[in-house]
Every structure is written in structure tokens, then in C-alpha cells.
Amino acid sequence: MIDPVTTEIIRCALLQAAEDMNTTLIRSSYTPVIYEAKDCAVALLDRDHNVLGQSSGLPIFLGNLEVCTRETERLHGRQVWREGDVWVLNDSYIGGTHLNDVTVYGPIFVGGELAGFAASRAHWLDMGSKDPGGSMDSTSIFQEGLRLGPVRIYEGGEPRADLHEVIARNVRFPHATLGDMRAQVACVTTGRRRLAEIVSRWGLDTVTAARDEIFAQTEQLERAAIAAVPDGVYRAGGFLDNDGIDLATPLPVNVTVTVAGESVTVDLTDCADQATGPVNCGAAQAVAAVRVAYKLLVSGEVPLNGGSFRPLSVATRPGSMLAAEAPAACQYYYSHLGLVIDLVVRALAPALPGKVAAASYGDSLIVQMSGVDPRTGKLYVSQEATVGGWGAWDGGDGETCLINSVNGSLRDMPIEVLETLFPVRVTRYEIRPGTGGAGRWRGGNGVVREYEFSGDTSLSLWFERSVTPAWGLAGGGAGAPPRVTLNPGRPGEREMLKVNALAVRKGDVLRCESGGGGGYGPAELRDGAALAHDLAEGMVTPPGRAQAGPAGSPVPSVK
Amino acid sequence: MDIGGTFTDVVRYDERTGRVVASKAPTTPGNLADGVFSALGRVVDDPSEISFFVHGTTQGLNALLERKGARVLLVTGEGARDVYRIARGNRDRMFDLRYRKPEPLVPRSAVTEVAGRLDWRGEELVPLDEDAVRAAARRARGEGFDAVAVCLLFSYVNPAHEIRAGEILAEELGEDTLVVLSHEVAREWREYERTSSAVLEAYTGPVVRRYLAGIEERFAERGLTVPVHVMQSSGGLVNASYAMRRPLQTLLSGPVGGTMGGVAAARLLGRPNAICVDMGGTSFDVSLVVDGRPDISAEARVEGFPVLMPIVNLHTIGAGGGSIAYAEAGALRVGPESAGAVPGPACYGRGGVRPTVTDANVVLGRVDPSWFAGGLMSLDVQAAHTAVADLARELRLETLQIAEGICSVANAKMAQAIRTLTVEHGVEPREFALVAFGGAGAMHAVFIARELGISEVVVPRFPGAFSAWGMLEADVRRDLSHPYFRSGGELDGADMASRLKDLQDQALEELAGQGVADSRMRIEHAVDMRYEGQDYTLTVPLRDAAEPGTPGFPERIAARYADAHTKRYGHATPEAPVEFVALRSTGFGVFPRTAATHAAQPDEGTRTVREVIFDGEAHPTPVLRRGALEGELTGPAIVVEETATTVIPPGCVASVDGNGFLIIKVGGVK
């Protein structure tokens, strides 16, 4: 029996070890998508692939790095692990995400004995897909770039030059890509050093006893939190606009949450089959999305470890877009994951009124530009997510112009940085008033971001949630859907939400408008002073003008 | 002098005798100057005898914390009015459906747009609409704004539009309204961060100006003949008249004093590297001294708002003497919740019943109950025992076991806070000395050092007033930078050298303006670099302003960058092309140093012996007054002084050096 003091010191040390890995990765990464957008995650695992400590830049990478070490061992046996080896994997059907998310991991040996694993996942700028940076219209994984199974990039501490060469020849930005890979290796090295220090100091038996105790403590806290949620079967449903190929067909996603005593089951089997377009993900990622919703609602404060998700089970259907199989395209693996998270929140709204919020604008709303910069003659890719309105809750208005939940702590691209790096100008960056859903508590507003191209550009767009815009709760109104207009008020004006590699000319203008968040409670109960303040601040459109909103857009069905 | 939340600490150095004296007076929140003068009165009879005065002011920060700053009108370019409100749209809490950004200091209705636009090279696309600027000025006057902040896109490349807008605003508004131009506050790219910096200066500036003007006036009345100096967030000093022009730089001037004390201590000890830890009742602040310099960031966040200015990098966690220990699911947890000052730890006898770190120390005998806070406060030892024993029962442990456990968990967490900073820098803590101060720092320092493999702990004199002492030891400092975007391939060394020469001249001129004599001026140069495609930069030092013009410079600087990258991040990409981003010149005005002397006063206080618990065993432990220390002292021992208690466990040896530092050689490193 281990004493609570030692357990607590080891627990803190493991959490810190994961933080140190994360710091190493973020500080040494090459591209902004990692150090700025934090499109990455790290985990320290025990030798049975349980999470000892995790630090996640992106919430949707929550607790699924271990699938990589687990799968490697399943394929090759436990004897495959050798000291000083580092592995790499980006297979969508194992890791669950798109090929850009590459997991780098390695075993940790202490005194010749396998003690655990260190793993890091990060988004690589380009994997050699048919269009730079990734395609909006891929229909097969083979169009999406280099796919690496579990393979060693370091052997016995030495880099495998041949495999580095393979990667360098298959991606568009080899310096940046290999720079990021080295950062991930440095992160794994930090994890190795930290776990070795902990095991050397306390001994593997003590650390293992502490681990069991820590997992048991966490499980106990999780079960107590779930017990506080009223038992019941909770359902919600919504639609993804389309798969990016067949723009006319919305794709349904329905969730059923069953709370029984100290356990929760989330059923995701009732959703569209895996799609032709790139809106598919591996089952591991669907599980991670449910875990995010669970943390948002149930036990956000409890640090994550191998005991965290024992009371939670998730059902997926192989061959569906939430558990896709080869060769489904997976580039936009996250739009329906954001929807899953929002739907779990909506389903549980009657049970957890003190925790939920109305829906947010709900998608990353990607603007991707690429081409040859006329100023330098070099190829460039710019990829931005667009901020929008978040949902209101009982007691507060939703925030205005905030990044999508799936994007973690991503910041928008400063105009000065964007214009310096790429041949484009931002002519407006403004709040889009009146787009938050009405209510006693108002939804947050979306944004208007307007670009003028300074050279011929290949434009790709991924704007979602027009079929199921941000819904209100408790009688609150829905937020406005997104809208994108090419050359507004000019000849050739054109509206669109998704497009791949559209050729636009120098001088063309693109106006991107993001959606607002849902409102909470009936609008008649809105406080007069709050309304007056909103008018003075220009956050709502003056009375007499209709509140912008989706007339006739289908409200998600609650089954 | 350091104005803290509760006390205003003052340290006086006597140039004739070499004696250092510390004292304090209660901080007077209504008018901080009252506390300043009452503290001063305790150490100086005649202000006209003062040859140098420096203080850290919290006036600007208080105005921000209490949201009692100026009413600011923000002027932006057309189409950019919401850049400030959008605030880059990010969140810093991931599992929060109800996230709110910090409430902006300028409401949307107080933002006004003026036409005028530059491109990324600073070339004019749309001329400045001067009439619109005049209209903004009239609005500021008509609606009674205290300050106007101006931030236009690309002003960091070409400030012409901002300068012209500033001229018009000054014409229309006169001296009474503070006008802040973003490029003067921070000549760096990223419009939101620059706007936020300008807004913070406009918001806190009028308050800081009033305060400094008041202090100078009162000093003059009392016969002070030398300028008042103010600590900047960068750890450098400026005189008050400069601080009135650039008040933002004083925003975080208080806690920085401790780091500058660490710099001075490292110098006096002849050690390049030090970890500075300040542990009080509720928080634990860590900062680093690397190669004799304070670890400074080019950017920080204050109350959630970004500020682009050189600022000493402080990492703070909620751990202190007041941190509460509790049981959760059979586990022992310590902090971050604190008992604060009221009710405070159970041993304060103010009604607290939950055990804290201080209570644990009392139970272990590490606090002398008769000499707590210099004997100003008596402790309820029984209450501490009861609180800790209750928790011990809950966790089925012995009282002493849990008391030591509470301290061990707190020490482990503080050690981890240090690790966070050292990992970020790619440095090894074992190469550092640990400088411990604040009320509780010296009680835990040796234990923290053991966790990190640190072999030397330094407890300065007057640990409670160390920040004030650090200010006395700081240099005048001016940081200048100039954007300089060039790819490695198109580097013109002669051009870079001539730009640096201009910066150097400007720095020398500014130092002269600070009253620094020529012989005391020193300039350092550096260039910010990165690999092409990266966004973050590393500041790479240059030998001097002329170095870029010398033969072989491109290869030399690329190699130096690769070295710096490897040192900081553990790897480099030598084959990747580099680019230059900015030039930096920093001017220092070096002041004569205090040469403190230390003489033991063996008659000070009596030596007692008490039982203290270390590693589960009671050790008869001498308790000594610090002033009485002489020669080597082998642990276990407890050293008490007015503001702090130092715990020297078995296996450690302490001595006092010629500067009065208590140096502990740490044994039993883990």
C-alpha cells in the first residue's frame, strides 16, 4: 500500500512531465500551426498504454494518442520496442484524424526495462496532397498525401536518413516539415528523460503502485461526477451541410446519451455512411470528440489520466463517417466532430442546465489561399480559420468573435503578418452585428473579414453549419448562418461556402461572414439596459430592422 | 523602495559607512505617496542627503486591476475598428463553454476610424484623412476623454500617418490630453498586440503621470535634489520625467525588483546563473538570471491583455504559506486555494480551521512561535496541530507524517514551477544557484533545491525587502528596436551596420537625457533572426554595431543563430535559410554599486534549541538570530530574522559571506 504523500508527489511529477513535453514541442516547433495554433498534443503513457499525463493543445486530441503505441504493438508484438527507437504514424484509420496529424512516439526504457512511452502529435503543414496544404474535394485517402504506418524514423538513437529522405521528397515544405518532426522527437526525448528520472527516483514498483492509486482516485471522482447527472436517455440530432462533393445533400448526425448511475454511454451509430468527400474520421477520433464533450460538461477540472474515461463508453458504426474505413477521404475529419460535441451538449441540456450553453457558430470556416507569390516567385500556402459567435447560457451572453472550439487556442492571423507573408490585403475585419441569436441572454456575434487579392490565387473554402446553424436553448433564437461572397456588389458576384482550388484574379474581393451563437431564454425577457447597451455598442441591429437570422432553416430535430 | 500590496519596503545604503538598513511602512492605497514618505522617514532624516532614489510603483497596475484608469478614445484605420474587440479570437481555457474574453478597456462605441492605409512595405495606398483626425480630436474634447490612443496598420514600418495624426491631436487637444501613438509604445508588428499596448499606456498613463508628478513635487519640497528614478518592467531604471512620457514601461515594476536583486546577487557571488524564488502567503514567483542577465521576454500578458514591451519573465503559481491542504478521493492535495490573510492559516488564530503549509511548518517545529514575523505576531500552535491532525485522520496517517507530506507536496509543486521556466529555456537547474526571498522562501528553499539537484541556496539579507534592494542595484536601461526584414541571402552587412549605428546614437542620446555620464554608458546590440517560414525569433547578440560590416559576417551570424537555436530548442536545421527580422540596441547607464559590509553581532539574541522534524525524526535543532551568525553552521538549524525564517536541514552547511548573504551548501540532493 502506497502512502498518499508519495502518490501525490508522483502524480504532480507525471503531470509536470507531460507539461514539459508540451513546452518542448511548442517552443521548438517550426511552423505556426503548432506553436501558435497549438494543433498538437503530447502524452506520457505507461507500458500498458495508459495515460500517465497528457497535455493537449487541441481538445479533440484528448486521450487518443495511445492508439498509436497500442496498434504498433498489436501489429508487431511487444518485442518490437527497442531502446532509442522513435516511431512515426499518420494513418487516418488508426489515429483517427487527417494525414497532416503525425504522431511521433517512442518506448521509454529504464535500466533495460520497458517503463512506458512518450508520444506527440502535431499538424504538419503539407503532406503532399494533390492540392497544397490539403484538399477540400478529395474522395480517397490516396489523394491526401503521404500515409505512414507505424515505422521507425530513429533506430537506436540514430536518425534513419533514408526515411527522412522519403518524407522530404513527398512534402512541399521539407525544411519546415523536418523541423517540426525534430521538435516532436525532442518532445519524446524530454518525456523519456522525465519518466526515467521519476522511475529512477522512486523505483518502478512504487511508480506502478502510485499509478494504480491515481487511476483509482480519478475514476472515483469521475463516477461521483456522473452520479450527480440525472439518469435518463438524452438525444439530439443535426446535419452537416454536405460532404464537399455533393453540395445538395445534408449528412445527418444523431447522438444518444444514456446516463445510468455512475456510467455514461454515447451512441454515435445513427449517422451518415462514410461519405465520398473528405468528411470522414477514424473511430478513435469520434471517441475523442465525445471525451471533449464529457470533459466540458462533467469533470473539466479533473486532470486526465488512465482512470478518466473508464465510466464512459462510446459506440460507433464501422463504415459510417464517424468510423470510416479505407480508402475514405479524411481531410476534413473535424467538422462533424464539432457537431458531435455540440449535439452531446444539446442532448444533456435538460439534465445539466447549470453547465450547458446554446450552440456556437460551430465550424472552423477555413479560408485557404495558395499560389506563387508575385513578390518572391515562391510557392506559398496560407490557411486561416475564421472566428464567430458562441452560444449564450443561463446568466451570460455568448462571446463575440471567438475561435471555434475544435481549434483550441488558435489565434487569428494578424493583418500585418498576413499581408507581409502573402500577396493579399485585408480590407475589413469587423463584428457582424445582429448575428447572435436573440434571447434573454444573447448569442455572440460573428465576424466580417474581407480580403482583396494582390495576385492570381488559388482559393479554397470550407464554411459549414448553414443547414444547422447555432441553435438557441430554452426559447432562445438561433444564430445567423455563415455567408461568403466573391466580389460583392460587382459584376460576377457569387455566393459559395465550399470550393476547392478556385482561380481568383488580382483585385478580386472575398467577403467572409461567420455565423453567430445561439441565444438562451425568451427574447422578451431581455433586460432593457442590456438591450440599450447593445444598441449603443452596435452589437445588435436597430429595432425595426429584422434580426438577421435563418428564415426557414431547419431546426435540429430532438428525438 | 518597493510598494507592495500590504507594505512599502525601503532599503537605504549609506555610501560613507557601507551600511545597509531596511524598514517598511504600511502601504496607503488611497495615496501611495503617503506610504512612500512614511517609509522614507524611517530610514532617512534629511531627504537632501539622498544622492540616488529609485522606486517601483504599482500605481498603473492598481488602476488596471481596479478598472479605474482613464477614459480612452481609440483611433484606428478604416475597416479595423474591431481589431481591439476581436482580440485575435483565441481562448486560453479549453474546457469552458462559457468563455469570455477580458472586458475591453475601450468600449466599441469609443473606437473611431480614420481613412489612411499603408501596405506591408510602408508605402501609402490611401492618404491619411486629416479632417477625420480633427473630428476625432473634437470628439475627444467634447466628450471629455482623458487620453487618445492611435494605432494604424503598418505604423511599425512607416510611422508617418501616426506621427501626423499625433500632431493634429496635439494641436487640437493641447497638453492636457495624453496622446499615445502605437509605434512609439512598441515598434513591432501585430496590430492587436500593438493596439492593446497603446490602449494600456493611454489607460494607465494619466494615473501614473499624476502620481509621479506628485512625488517629484513633494520630494522637491523636502529638498531632494536628484531625479526620482522608476523601475521599469524590463528591470532597468528610468527617471521620472521619462516615465511620465512612457508610463507603460512602469506597469509591472514591483516584482521585477526581486529579479534584479537576483542579478546583483549573482554578480556579487561570482555566479552567472541564478533562479530567483519569491514565496509569500499566496503565490510563488520564479524568475531566472542567465549568464548574469535577467531573463526578459519581448511580450507579456497583463490581466489577459497583451503588452509588447521588454518585461522580466515571471512565472507565478498559487503556492505559499497559506496554501490549503485537503483530502480528495483518498488523495492528499495542496493548494492552489489559499487561506489568504483572513482567516489565514489555523495558527494565526483568526478562525481558520483548514490546515495550510504554514500550519504544517508549525507542527514540524520549523517556525519559532515566539519569534514569528519578528515577534510581532504570536502563533496558536495548538490550532495548527488540530487542523493538521484532522486531515491526518481523514487520510489515515500520523499527524507528523501528514505535516511533512504537506510540505513535500508544496515543495514538489514549487520545484515544478521552476522546471517550467528552465525547460522553456533549455537550461539545467543544477547549474543554477537558488536565491530565495519573500516571507516563506527561505523556509522551503533547501527542499526545493534538493528536488532539482541544485547544490547552493542563497538567502539574501532582508529577504522581505529584497525587491527594494534589487532596485537599488539596477542599471538605467533603454531598449530600442528597429524592424529589419531581410532574407539571409539579401543581407547587406554595411547597411545593417549603419542602421545599428543610428540606433546606437539614439540610445546614447537617450541615456544622456537620463543624466547618465558618458563614462557610465554601455550599449549592447543584437539582431532578431529566424528560419524562413518561422514566426518566432531568437535574439542573437552582436559583438558591436560595426560587426555586420565585417568580412565573413553572414556565415558567422548563421552559425551563431544555429548555436542559439540548438541551445534553446535542442536542435537546429543548419541547411535551412535564415532571415532577419529586427535590430535591437540596448543602452545601459551603470551606477556605482553598493559594497555592503557584514559584521557578526554575536550578542544579538539568545540561542535556543527546539525539536524539529526532518524525514520523520525529531532532531534537537538550534534556533539562532541571523545577526549572530559566524563561521560555518551545520544543519539542522533554524535561522530567524525579522521578516523570514531559514530552515537548514541535516546534511546542509550554512555560512555568511562578506556581502551578508547566507549561503547554504545543500546535501542530500535527489
Query: Would you say residue B341 lies in a domain?
Result: yes
Q: B429: helix, coil or strand?
A: helix
Among the three residues B179, B210, B241, which one is the final residue of a domain in this structure?
Answer: B210
The pair phi, psi for residue A537, each rounded to 5°, is: -85, 0
Domain shared by B513 and B399, yes or no: no
All residues at 6 or more sequence positions from B265 whose CB lies less than 8 Å from its CB, including other chains = B274, B435, B458, B460, B661
Q: Measured between beta carbons, which residues in chain A are less than 8 angstroms from residue B397? A: 3-5
Give Dmax over CA atoms of chain B in angstroms. Answer: 81
Domain shared by B15 and B92, yes or no: no
What is the side-by-side order of every strand in the sheet holding B53-55?
B53-55, B228-231, B237-239, B476-487, B578-589, B521-531, B538-542
Domain shared by B39 and B90, yes or no: no
> What value does the mean pLDDT take over residues B598-603?
60
Q: What is the C-alpha to C-alpha distance for residues B296 and B233, in angstroms, rounded to an integer? A: 9
Q: Flag whether pLDDT at A557 surpasses 60.
A: no
Domain shared by B157 and B201, yes or no: yes
Model confidence over A132-165: pLDDT tens digits?
A: 878 889 999 999 999 998 999 999 999 999 999 9
Domain shared by B401 and B352, yes or no: yes
Nearest CA in chain A to B110: A537
Query: Would you say residue B619 lies in a domain?
Result: no
Sign of torsion, CA A194 A199 A204 A210?
negative
All residues at 6 or more sequence positions from A197 whose CB lies less than 8 Å from its CB, including other chains = none
CB A4 within 8 A of CB B332: yes
How high is the pLDDT of residue A552? 35
Q: What is the DSSP annotation of A64-110?
A: -THHHHHHHHHHH-GGG--TT-EEEE--HHHH-S-TTEEEEEEEEEE
Model confidence over B513-551: pLDDT tens digits?
A: 888 899 999 999 999 998 886 767 889 999 999 999 999
Q: Give me the percent of chain A exceeding a pLDDT of 90.
A: 82
First to last CA, chain A: 49
Interface mutation target, options A402, A410, A424, chain B, most CBs of B under 10 Å:
A402
Q: B23: helix, coil or strand?
A: strand
Model confidence over A349-368: pLDDT tens digits?
A: 999 999 999 999 999 999 99
Q: Which residue has the higher pLDDT, A327 or B592?
A: A327
Q: Which residue has the higher pLDDT, A123 or B377?
A: A123
Give the three cell numbers for residue B420. Answer: 517550467
Report chain B's mean pLDDT, rounded to a whole number. Answer: 91
- DSSP conformational letter for A543: T
Q: B240: helix, coil or strand?
A: helix
CB B320 within 8 A of CB B338: yes
How open is the CA angle A269-A272-A278, to the nearest 5 degrees?
120
> What value does the mean pLDDT take over residues A536-543?
87
Among the three residues B210, B227, B252, which one is the final residue of a domain in this structure?
Answer: B210
Give the three cell numbers for residue B355. Answer: 490546515
Domain shared by B204 and B70, yes or no: yes
Q: Element (H or E) spanning B54, and its range?
A: strand B53-55
Domain shared by B82 and B23, yes or no: no
Least confident of B72-76, B245-249, B446-450, B584-588: B245-249
Q: Flag whether pLDDT at A379 surpasses 90.
A: no
Report chain A's mean pLDDT, rounded to a whole number. Answer: 92
Contact B570 A300 (CB under 8 A): no
Query: Would you say residue B256 lies in a domain?
Result: no
Query: Would you say residue B427 lies in a domain?
Result: no
Q: What is the C-alpha to C-alpha distance for residues B207 and B322, in angstroms, rounded to an integer? A: 32
How high is the pLDDT of residue A315? 98
Q: Give me the percent of chain B exceeding a pLDDT of 70.
A: 96
Q: Measured between beta carbons, which residues in chain A are less than 8 angstroms from residue B531? A: 30, 175, 179
All residues at 6 or more sequence positions from B467 whose CB lies less than 8 Å from its CB, including other chains = B2, B4, B9, B56, B254, B255, B256, B257, B258, B261, B278, B437
Structure confidence at residue B15 as a pLDDT band (50, 70, 90): confident
Nearest to B466, CA basis, from B644, B293, B205, B315: B644
What is the predicted ipTM? 0.92
All residues at 6 or more sequence positions from B498 whose CB lies less than 8 Å from its CB, including other chains = none
Domain shared by B22 and B150, yes or no: no
Contact A20 B423 (CB under 8 A): yes
Number of compact structural domains in chain B:
4
CB B224 within 8 A of CB B347: no
Domain shared by B97 and B16, yes or no: no
Q: Flag whether pLDDT at A537 surpasses 90.
A: yes
Interface mutation target, options A2, A8, A16, A22, chain B, most CBs of B under 10 Å:
A8
Q: Which residue has the higher pLDDT, A42 or B658?
A: A42
Q: What is the DSSP annotation of A351-394?
A: T-TTT-------S--EEEEEEE-TTT--EEEEEE---B----BT
CATH code, domain carrying B116: 3.40.50
Type of residue numbered B196:
S
Contact B330 A220 (CB under 8 A): yes
All residues at 6 or more sequence positions from B365 whose CB lies less than 8 Å from its CB, including other chains = B610, B611, B612, B613, B618, B621
Using CB atoms, which residue from A35, A190, A402 is nearest to B89? A402
How high is the pLDDT of residue B483? 85
Domain shared by B3 and B74, yes or no: no
Strand-strand pairing, B53-55 and B228-231: parallel
Using CB atoms, which residue from A30, A176, A429 is nearest to B83? A429
Contact B405 A28 (CB under 8 A): no
Using CB atoms, which residue from A59, A399, A426 is nearest to B95? A59
Give the three cell numbers for residue B16. Answer: 560613507
Q: What is the DSSP annotation of B635-657?
A: SSEEEE-SS-EEEE-TT-EEEE-
How high is the pLDDT of residue A470? 96
Using CB atoms, which residue from B94, B189, B191 is nearest to A408? B94
Using CB atoms, which residue from A30, A295, A447 is nearest to B86? A447
Strand-strand pairing, A232-240 and B617-625: unpaired
Least confident of A89-93, A253-257, B225-229: B225-229
Q: Measured between beta carbons, which residues in chain B are less than 8 angstroms from residue A403? A: 89-91
Distance from CA of A28 to the nearest CA of B (A): 5
> For the whole model, what pTM was predicted?
0.92
Structure confidence at residue A502 as a pLDDT band (50, 70, 90): very high
Query: Would you say residue B487 lies in a domain?
Result: yes
> What value does the mean pLDDT take over residues B571-576?
79
Q: Flag whether pLDDT at A554 surpasses 60.
A: no
Q: Give me the percent of chain B exceeding a pLDDT of 90.
A: 63
Model confidence over B79-88: pLDDT tens digits?
A: 999 999 999 9
Using CB atoms, which residue from A173, A429, A539 is nearest to B80? A429
Model confidence over A204-229: pLDDT tens digits?
A: 999 999 999 999 999 999 999 999 99
How high is the pLDDT of residue B152? 98
Nearest CA in chain B to A447: B86
Q: Measured between beta carbons, which residues in chain A are less than 8 angstroms from residue B154? A: 416, 419
> What value does the mean pLDDT take over residues B138-146?
96
Using CB atoms, which residue from A28, A355, A430 is nearest to B79? A430
All residues at 6 or more sequence positions from A380 whose CB lies less than 8 Å from its CB, including other chains = A369, A370, A371, A372, A373, A421, A422, A423
Is there a cis peptide before residue A107, judged by omega within 30 degrees of 0? no
Range of the domain at B570: 476-589
Q: What is the C-alpha to C-alpha distance for residues A439 and A472, in angstroms, rounded to an integer? A: 8
Sign of torsion, CA B181 B185 B188 B191?
negative
CB B63 within 8 A of CB B69: yes
How high is the pLDDT of residue A543? 63
Structure confidence at residue A531 as a pLDDT band (50, 70, 90): very high
Q: What is the DSSP annotation of A143-202?
A: GS-----SEEEEETTEE-HHHHHHHHHHSS-HHHHHHHHHHHHHHHHHHHHHHHHHHHHH
Locate all alpha helices (DSSP H) within B434-492, ordered by sequence: 441-452, 466-472
Strand-strand pairing, B111-114 and B72-77: parallel
Query: Would you say residue B312 lies in a domain?
Result: no
Among the three residues B351, B376, B408, which one is the final residue of a domain in this structure?
Answer: B408
Contact A537 B424 (CB under 8 A): no
Burial degree of B615 (CB within 10 A; 0-12, 13-18, 19+): exposed
Domain shared by B3 and B88, yes or no: no
Map grid coordinates 525524526 to a residue: B617
Domain shared by B24 and B94, yes or no: no
Q: Measured between beta carbons, which residues in chain B are less than 8 angstroms from residue A213? A: 330-331
Q: Flag whether pLDDT at B636 surpasses 80.
A: yes
How high is the pLDDT of residue B51? 87
Contact B97 A400 (CB under 8 A): no
Type of residue numbered B380:
D
All residues at 6 or more sequence positions from B517 whose CB lies less than 8 Å from its CB, including other chains = none
How open is the CA angle A412-A417-A423, to the nearest 5 degrees?
110
Interface mutation target, options B83, B90, B575, B670, chain A, most CBs of A under 10 Å:
B90
How high is the pLDDT of residue A549? 39
Model confidence over A24-81: pLDDT tens digits?
A: 888 778 777 777 667 788 999 999 999 999 887 777 887 689 999 999 999 999 999 9
Q: What is the C-alpha to C-alpha distance for residues A127 and B552, in angstroms, rounded to an integer? A: 37
Structure confidence at residue B670 as a pLDDT band (50, 70, 90): low
